[in-house]
Amino acid sequence: MKWFVDHYAKGHETDWQASPSRAASLAGTAPSLVLTCAHDPLRDEGIDYARRLEREGVRVVHLHYSDQIHGFMSMGRLIRAADQAIDMMARVLKQTLWPPGPVT
């Protein structure tokens, strides 16, 4: 993970803007969608982040794929769950960004 941090956030490892879970508070954060996978070195951090958002009153949808690897989303030609996950995320984001209006 050090290699990735050095390439992604060298010198900003403790900055909340590089790692939002380091923020003192997440209250008031925009509604969030967090996707985690069982076979991902960042799984636990993602799960903790989704739980913290919820604890701090942020509307969050957490999708967890118990049989996938980090990066599976870009493997739609090989992993059927990738396309399914993209469809699911699109539905969640659409509902969040454009909630249904009142029925007339």
* Distance in angstroms (rounded) separating the CA atoms of residues 93 and 46: 18
pLDDT digits (tens, 9 = 90+) for 1-59: 788 878 888 888 788 888 888 899 999 999 999 999 999 998 999 999 999 999 999 99
Q: Structure tokens of 99?
A: 């909630």
pLDDT digits (tens, 9 = 90+) for 67-85: 999 999 999 889 999 999 9
